[in-house]
């Protein structure tokens, strides 16, 4: 018997391995995102398609360059960076200038992923890091919304889409007027409810026939796509479930106290980016806890934070900051919720 056969390899648990590799899981996430991308194109036309292409191309090229500079094998083929690019686009206004979207893609990969060591080491969701940068750098452009189902959306771009690099976004006011759309204020359902106390029909929110970020409008479609991943066991359903349930309860408490000022819990679930964030971003495999109790606490924390930021903060939306804060405390939650080893006393957790 050879010396190699006598070697005993010691590793920490878990010892079971799944048949699916990273590439397979990431490819299925991309497949799950494609219907949402298709609906965004249906709703906002060629500008939404160009937005997805711009962010994805920027992320892929940046990932390749970063890997080469670090003398590492490029990890473009594992689809993780494609997911980052698609998710970033889906969180952005459909008419955002393409050069700004590309900058967001570069920041997502470099700041959100590469500086932490690459795939598997990121602390925060990379797409949300890029989105947060764009929110700080281009606050006007990232809060300029386009009407859904605009005439000619498949043959012409939203004027702001083709803004020259490093220039301010082209205004879209005259373009909106030329469409002859009655009652479009340029605000999202969340902004209308928060600042003007004008509710949006829940049916429209569920189906996605509203203005907003490119991929956040249709709550039902996002749930169906998430259910596909959960069915394939490629999504920890407990995280979106706890996030949505806690958001429902928290907003319900506010609504009971003052129904004239605060929205219904159902509106909270279906409006804005809560559904997209809960299903596809909060459940980031790297940035979320792994302990059974930890994932429930993690999801509940983000749901509560989302509602508090929405109702008590200055911005109508709060999902992005809630998830980033959840990512930040994820290691602490993991550390505090380590299950007790059978037959042993629970060790005192170290923060």
The tens digit of pLDDT for each residue in 288-335 reads 999 999 999 999 999 999 999 999 998 889 999 999 999 999 999 999
The span from the CA of 288 to the CA of 333, in Å, is: 9
- Predicted pLDDT of residue 172: 87
Q: Is the pLDDT of residue 226 over 90?
A: yes
Q: Is the pLDDT of residue 192 over 60?
A: yes
Determine what percent of the chain is predicted with pLDDT higher than 70.
91
pLDDT in tens, 3-41: 444 555 555 555 555 667 788 999 999 999 999 999 999
pLDDT in tens, 111-130: 999 999 888 889 999 999 99
In 3D, which of 166, 52, 48 has the Cα closest to residue 100?
Answer: 166
Band (pLDDT 50/70/90 cuts) for residue 351 is: low
pLDDT in tens, 238-260: 999 999 999 999 999 999 999 99
**10 is written with which tokens?**
């010691």
Band (pLDDT 50/70/90 cuts) for residue 219 is: very high
The span from the CA of 219 to the CA of 216, in Å, is: 7
Least confident of 3-7, 67-71, 83-87, 194-198: 3-7
> What are the two backbone dihedrals, phi and then psi, of residue 126, each rounded to the nearest 5 degrees?
-60, -40
Q: What stretch of H or E contains 12?
A: none
**70 is written with which tokens?**
């670090």
Q: Is the pLDDT of residue 88 over 70?
A: yes
Please, what is the average pLDDT of the chain?
89
The span from the CA of 50 to the CA of 98, in Å, is: 7
Band (pLDDT 50/70/90 cuts) for residue 223 is: very high
Cis peptide before 192 (omega within 30 of 0): no
Band (pLDDT 50/70/90 cuts) for residue 176 is: confident
- Predicted pLDDT of residue 3: 47
> What are the two backbone dihedrals, phi and then psi, of residue 155, each rounded to the nearest 5 degrees?
-120, -15
- Predicted pLDDT of residue 196: 85
Q: How big is the chain by its Cα radius of gyration, in Å?
A: 21
């Amino acid at each position: 018997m050879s010396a190699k056969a006598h070697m005993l390899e010691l590793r920490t648990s878990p010892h079971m391995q799944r048949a699916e590799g990273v590439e397979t899981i990431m490819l299925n996430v991309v497949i799950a995102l494609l219907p949402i991308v298709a609906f965004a194109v249906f709703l906002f036309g060629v500008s939404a398609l160009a937005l997805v292409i711009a962010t994805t191309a920027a992320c892929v090229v940046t990932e390749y360059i970063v890997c080469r500079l670090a003398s590492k094998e490029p990890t473009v083929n594992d689809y993780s960076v494609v997911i980052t690019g698609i998710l970033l686009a889906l969180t952005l206004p459909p008419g955002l200038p393409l050069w700004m979207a590309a900058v967001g893609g570069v920041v997502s990969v470099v700041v959100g992923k590469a500086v932490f060591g690459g795939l598997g080491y990121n602390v925060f969701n990379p797409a949300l890091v890029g989105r947060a940068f764009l929110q700080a750098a281009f606050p006007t452009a990232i809060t300029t919304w386009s009407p859904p189902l605009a005439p000619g959306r498949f043959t012409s771009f939203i004027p702001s889409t083709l803004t020259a690099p490093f220039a301010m976004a082209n205004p879209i006011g005259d373009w909106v007027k030329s469409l002859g759309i009655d009652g479009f204020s340029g605000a999202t359902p969340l902004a209308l409810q928060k600042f003007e106390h004008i509710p949006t029909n829940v049916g429209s929110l569920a189906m996605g026939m509203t203005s907003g970020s490119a991929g956040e409008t249709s709550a039902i479609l996002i749930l169906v796509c998430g259910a596909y991943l959960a069915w394939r066991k490629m999504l920890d359903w407990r995280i979106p479930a706890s996030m949505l349930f806690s958001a429902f309860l928290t907003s319900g408490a506010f609504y009971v106290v003052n129904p004239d000022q605060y929205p219904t819990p159902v509106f909270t679930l279906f409006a804005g980016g809560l559904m997209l964030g809960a299903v596809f971003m909060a459940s980031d495999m790297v940035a979320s806890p792994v302990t059974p109790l930890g994932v429930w606490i993690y999801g509940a924390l983000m749901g509560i934070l989302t509602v508090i930021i929405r109702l008590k903060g200055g911005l109508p939306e709060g999902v992005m900051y809630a998830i980033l804060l959840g990512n930040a405390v994820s290691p602490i939650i993991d550390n505090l919720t380590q299950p007790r080893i059978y037959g042993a006393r629970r060790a005192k957790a170290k923060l």
